[in-house]
């Protein structure tokens, strides 16, 4: 479905009044005619049939309906009167087609021919549109150039009676301009005035989120001229997945992010799917100069029934982007060929790309001298966890082994859209060798994160040698339960993490260690120390409340009880339990009673990471941020990342031991300052 520019309403009913000229973006002016904005409580001269539409436009959501959003002003057409069972239609007065486009907001059921809106000319429907099984209205439009000067009517209809048997429509205009992302600017401008700006009850306070709309995978992570860039899969048109484009933010400390305008938009029916960004220091691509090396984004173009690899470049620190005129640079005529990840391989002096034939679970490695011409080097897979549906978003990088001088090994990380350890989507990684041509695993794959909400992580490129860390970030969500109960934005990123490898036991066996970046310490308020204690079959509050539920907690646990640990976000009947399960030798996060879990039947549950005790102890480092927990176990040897949606009043913290006793020591906590409101 397409987006359109939305211009300020100016005319009155049925295109009668002259249009005002309005500014629709930085440099464009356009004129539009309002057909109807449905802002009054009657349908005026529209003809109403049946009972689905009631007597007039609805003032928003109707009884028993999921939240309706994305409409303009206070009212909209909503055929959910008395639920989905009712049927009917609305027919507009006649009007003359005077602009090349008719644009409108539409939501509700996707039942072609049964729930929708049509343009009628000469007794026939000549254009039609339907909803998208979502209560969020999105822009849609028709090119009606060929009907200019003709008399038309609009008919909004609902003859469906089952699930999603209703239609929502609002703000119908005749417009001069093709669909664009004007509405995002309007939405942002409105949102920036909101008293809740970046401060809604579930808005994470020290993790990245877009101001408004839908986000998924991190893309194009790169450090350049003092800034960490974070691009991300973003829908400029709404709060569900669609119209994928690259959103953009920059930071100097990986924590305080400045939201920037859209970097790479969907265009001509081709979405900008996931990919990476490199700094082309030698200007091998010719897109910049050696004095001002270009940033080059390599991303998947998705559209017209296939996925190809494209380039875009920037010579102004990522502020503006140009799509390469000779795109695509890789086209196998494949429908599922995506998520290129490119790095400079110093020993062979060339660019290497790893990209996924997603449904075949095959990664192809390519080499290039100029980022434009690519030659296949080798293939990897299928491998790893068996029988899982696909592989997406690969990343290939070298990591140091902790405490082994300069020993380094390669890691190949890849994500599966479903069937991961905690259910739904998640990642696995292989440790091995890469010789510039071929990756070879030296051990079985392992899970990246044992929670449900850490997906498609990719690492930052071009981190200065003087820093030397290997950093990444993941999407703090799960495709299976991705429609989190937040608005006007949806989804956030994990805390940025620094990676290393750690040898386990004496064998040649390694795990990837993830630790929150040290910068996080700069957000700490004053330290709260908790005296060591033992508990037997009991629980004990340690703080009634802690800084609006954005904090860090560390403790060492000797878990002799069947289960013991800490509960966070404790309130009336609510808590999220983080504990050690002795029988299963595992650390777990149980979010069954964490708060709102009803928005998806698969959300509630418990997720565990197998962790053998060392010296009868386990160390937990827990990050809580309003609607999230990230647990780092034994200095990063395993992580569990989960979203939770507690009540605002559930701010307690308590220790517990069940069926036996447990000792808690080395307990510290710090409130963490908001990166949005406490600069
Ligand atoms: C993974 C993914 C990618 C794709 C992107 C589209 O989450 O499916 O494979 O590029 O999302 O938004």
List the structure tokens of 297: 């984004």
- What tens digit of pLDDT does each residue of 7-29 get? 222 222 222 233 334 433 333 34
Confidence of residue 140 (pLDDT cuts 50, 70, 90): confident
- pLDDT higher than 80, residue 181: no
Instruction: Please give the C-alpha separations between residue 375 and each of 278, 353, 371, in angstroms, as whole numbers.
Output: 18, 10, 10
- What tens digit of pLDDT does each residue of 107-138 get? 999 898 999 999 999 999 999 999 888 898 88
- Distance CA(495)–CA(521), nearest Å, equals 12
Residue appearing with tokens 């173009």: 301
Q: For atom 7 of ligand 1, which residue has the closest CA?
A: 217
103 CB-near residues (< 8 Å, 6+ apart): 4, 5, 6, 139, 140, 141, 142, 172, 173, 175, 179
Task: Phi first, then psi: give them for residue 479, nearest 5 degrees.
Answer: -55, -35
- Distance CA(277)–CA(273), nearest Å, equals 13
CB atoms within 10 A of CB 381: 18
Task: Return mean pLDDT, the chain.
Answer: 92
Distance between Cα 448 and ligand 1 center (Å): 18
Question: 387 exposed, middle or buried (CB, 10 Å; 0-12, 13-18, 19+)?
Answer: exposed
- In the predicted model, what is the mean pLDDT of residues 565-581? 97
Distance between Cα 275 and ligand 1 center (Å): 9
Q: Which atom of ligand 1 is nearest to the CA of 479?
A: 7
Distance between Cα 427 and ligand 1 center (Å): 13
List the structure tokens of 444: 């079985």
- Distance CA(204)–CA(650), nearest Å, equals 15
Q: Which of 483, 430, 420, 474 is nearest to 452 (CA)?
A: 420
- Distance CA(525)–CA(227), nearest Å, equals 25
- In the predicted model, what is the mean pLDDT of residues 322-329? 98
CB atoms within 10 A of CB 464: 9
Q: What is the largest CA-CA distance in the chain?
A: 83
Q: For atom 9 of ligand 1, which residue has the closest CA?
A: 392
Pocket test of ligand 1: the residue of 214, 216, 246, 420 to mutate, having most ligand atoms within 8 Å of its CB, is 216
CB atoms within 10 A of CB 333: 9
- In the predicted model, what is the mean pLDDT of residues 59-68? 93
Q: Which of 47, 129, 145 is nearest to 97 (CA)?
A: 145
- pLDDT higher than 90, residue 631: yes
- Distance CA(75)–CA(83), nearest Å, equals 18
Q: Which atom of ligand 1 is nearest to the CA of 241?
A: 12
CB atoms within 10 A of CB 661: 16
Report pLDDT for 396.
98
- pLDDT higher than 50, residue 5: no
- What tens digit of pLDDT does each residue of 300-319 get? 999 988 999 999 999 999 99
Helix ranges restricted to H, 122-207: 182-192
Pocket test of ligand 1: the residue of 273, 363, 390, 476 to mutate, having most ligand atoms within 8 Å of its CB, is 273
List the structure tokens of 14: 């049925």
- Distance CA(215)–CA(493), nearest Å, equals 9
Ligand 1 pocket by Cβ (under 6 Å): 216-217, 233, 244, 273-274, 300, 338-339, 392-393, 456
> Could you tell me where the beta strands, DSSP code E, fall in 37-166?
47-50, 77-78, 88-91, 95-96, 101-108, 115-121, 124-130, 134-143, 151-158
Write out the DSSP string of 67-96: PPBS-SSS-BEE--TTSTT--EEEEPPPEE
Confidence of residue 386 (pLDDT cuts 50, 70, 90): confident
Write out the DSSP string of 385-410: STT-S--EEEEEEEEEBTTSTT-EEE
Q: For atom 8 of ligand 1, which residue has the closest CA?
A: 392
Report pLDDT for 31.
64
Q: What is the separation of C-alpha 157 from the centre of its chain, rounded to a whole number of angstroms?
A: 34
- In the predicted model, what is the mean pLDDT of residues 172-194? 80
Distance between Cα 273 and ligand 1 center (Å): 6
Residue appearing with tokens 């086209």: 331
Q: Which of 318, 25, 1, 284 is nearest to 128 (CA)?
A: 1
Question: 373 exposed, middle or buried (CB, 10 Å; 0-12, 13-18, 19+)?
Answer: exposed
- Distance CA(122)–CA(482), nearest Å, equals 44
Least confident of 68-77, 433-442, 489-498: 68-77
CB atoms within 10 A of CB 196: 10
Q: Residue 630 in contact with residue 525, Cβ under 8 Å?
A: no
Distance between Cα 285 and ligand 1 center (Å): 26
**How many helices and strands, by DSSP H and E, does the chain display?**
1, 46
Distance between Cα 418 and ligand 1 center (Å): 12
Distance between Cα 526 and ligand 1 center (Å): 40
Pocket test of ligand 1: the residue of 241, 338, 359 to mutate, having most ligand atoms within 8 Å of its CB, is 338
CB-side exposure of 170: number of CA atoms within 13 Å? 27
Q: Which atom of ligand 1 is nearest to the CA of 217?
A: 7
Least confident of 199-203, 365-369, 391-395, 542-546: 542-546
- What tens digit of pLDDT does each residue of 340-350 get? 999 999 999 99
Distance between Cα 392 and ligand 1 center (Å): 7
Report pLDDT for 679.
56
Rounded to the nearest 5 degrees, what angle is found at the Cα of 307, between the Cα atoms of 305 and 313?
135
Task: Phi first, then psi: give them for residue 12, nearest 5 degrees.
Answer: -115, -145
195 CB-near residues (< 8 Å, 6+ apart): none
Peptide bond into 43 cis (omega under 30): no
- Distance CA(175)–CA(100), nearest Å, equals 6
Question: 304 exposed, middle or buried (CB, 10 Å; 0-12, 13-18, 19+)?
Answer: exposed
Residue appearing with tokens 């429509």: 169
- 241-247, Cβ contacts within 8 angstroms, sequence gap of 24 or more: 241/214, 241/216, 241/482, 242/1, 242/132, 242/138, 242/214, 243/3, 243/271, 244/271, 244/272, 244/273, 244/302, 245/181, 245/271, 245/272, 246/219, 246/220, 246/272, 246/297, 246/299, 247/210, 247/215
Distance between Cα 425 and ligand 1 center (Å): 11
Distance between Cα 232 and ligand 1 center (Å): 10
- What tens digit of pLDDT does each residue of 388-411 get? 889 999 999 999 999 998 899 999
| N-terminal to C-terminal alpha carbon distance within the chain | 39
Residues with active-site annotation: 217
Q: Which atom of ligand 1 is nearest to the CA of 356?
A: 9
Q: How many residues does the chain have?
A: 679
Q: Which atom of ligand 1 is nearest to the CA of 244?
A: 12
Pocket test of ligand 1: the residue of 218, 272, 274, 426 to mutate, having most ligand atoms within 8 Å of its CB, is 274
Write out the DSSP string of 502-541: EE-SSSS-EEEEEEE-GGGGGGB-S-EEE--EEEEEEEEE
List the structure tokens of 270: 């081709």
- What tens digit of pLDDT does each residue of 427-455 get? 999 999 999 999 999 999 999 999 999 99
* Beta-bridge partner residues of 629: 624, 642
Residue appearing with tokens 């829908």: 235
């Amino acid at each position: 479905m397409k987006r359109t520019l939305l211009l300020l309403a100016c005319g009155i009913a049925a295109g009668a009044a002259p249009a005002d000229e309005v500014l629709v973006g930085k440099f464009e002016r356009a004129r539009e005619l309002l057909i109807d904005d449905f802002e009054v409580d009657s349908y005026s001269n529209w003809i109403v049939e049946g009972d689905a539409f009631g007597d007039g436009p609805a003032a928003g959501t109707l009884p028993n309906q999921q939240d309706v959003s994305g409409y303009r002003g206070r009212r909209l057409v909503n055929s959910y009167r008395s639920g989905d069972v009712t049927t009917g239609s609305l027919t507009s007065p006649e009007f003359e087609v005077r602009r090349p486009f008719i644009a409108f907001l539409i939501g509700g059921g996707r039942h072609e021919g049964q729930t929708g809106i049509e343009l009628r000319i000469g007794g026939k429907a000549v254009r039609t549109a339907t909803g998208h099984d979502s209560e969020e209205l999105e822009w849609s439009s028709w090119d009606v150039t060929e009907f200019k000067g003709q008399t038309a009517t609009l008919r909004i209809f609902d003859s469906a009676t089952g699930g999603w048997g209703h239609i929502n429509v609002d703000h119908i205009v005749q417009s001069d301009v093709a669909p664009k992302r004007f509405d995002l600017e309007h939405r942002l401008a409105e949102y920036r005035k909101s008293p809740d700006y970046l401060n809604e009850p579930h808005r994470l306070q020290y993790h990245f989120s877009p101001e408004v709309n839908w986000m998924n995978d991190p893309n194009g992570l790169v450090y350049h001229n003092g800034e960490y860039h974070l691009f991300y899969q973003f829908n400029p048109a709404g709060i569900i997945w669609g119209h994928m484009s690259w959103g953009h933010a920059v930071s100097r400390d990986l924590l305080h992010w400045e939201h920037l305008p859209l970097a790479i938009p969907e265009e001509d029916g081709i979405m900008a799917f996931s990919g990476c960004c490199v700094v082309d220091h030698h200007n091998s691509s010719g897109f910049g100069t050696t004095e001002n090396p270009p940033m080059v984004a390599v991303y998947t173009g998705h559209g017209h029934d296939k996925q190809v690899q494209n380039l875009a470049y920037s010579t102004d620190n990522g502020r503006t982007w140009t799509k390469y005129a000779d795109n695509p640079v890789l086209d196998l005529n494949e429908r599922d060929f995506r998520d290129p990840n490119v790095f400079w391989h110093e020993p062979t002096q060339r660019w290497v790309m790893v990209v996924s034939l997603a449904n075949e679970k095959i990664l192809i490695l390519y080499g290039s001298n100029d980022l434009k011409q690519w030659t296949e080097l080798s293939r990897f897979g299928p491998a790893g966890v068996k029988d899982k549906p696909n592989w997406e978003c690969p990343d290939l990088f070298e990591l140091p082994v902790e405490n082994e001088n300069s020993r380094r090994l390669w890691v190949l990380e890849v994500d599966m859209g479903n069937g991961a350890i905690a259910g739904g989507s998640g990642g696995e990684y292989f440790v091995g060798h890469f010789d510039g041509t071929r990756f070879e695993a030296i051990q079985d794959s392992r899970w990246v994160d044992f929670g449900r909400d850490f997906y498609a992580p990719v690492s930052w490129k071009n981190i200065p040698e003087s820093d030397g860390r290997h950093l990444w970030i993941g999407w703090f969500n799960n495709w299976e339960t991705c429609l989190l109960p937040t608005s006007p934005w949806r989804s956030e990123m994990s805390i940025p993490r620094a990676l290393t490898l750690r040898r386990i036991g004496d064998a040649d066996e390694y795990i990837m260690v993830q630790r929150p970046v040290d910068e996080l310490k700069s957000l700490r308020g004053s330290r709260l120390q908790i005296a060591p204690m033992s508990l037997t079959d009991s629980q004990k509050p340690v703080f009634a409340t802690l800084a609006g539920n954005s904090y860090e907690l560390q403790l060492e646990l000797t878990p002799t009880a069947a289960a013991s640990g800490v509960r966070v976000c404790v309130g009336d009947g609510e808590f999220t339990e983080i504990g050690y399960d002795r029988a299963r030798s595992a650390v777990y996060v149980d979010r069954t009673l964490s708060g709102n879990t009803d928005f998806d039947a698969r959300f509630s549950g418990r997720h565990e990471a197998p962790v053998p005790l060392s010296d009868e102890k386990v160390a937990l480092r827990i990050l809580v941020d309003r609607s999230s927990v990230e647990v780092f176990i034994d200095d990063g040897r395993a992580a569990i990342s989960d979203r939770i949606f507690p009540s605002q009043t559930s701010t307690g913290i308590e220790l517990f031991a069940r069926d036996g006793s447990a000792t808690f020591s080395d307990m510290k906590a710090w409130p963490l300052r908001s990166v949005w409101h406490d600069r």
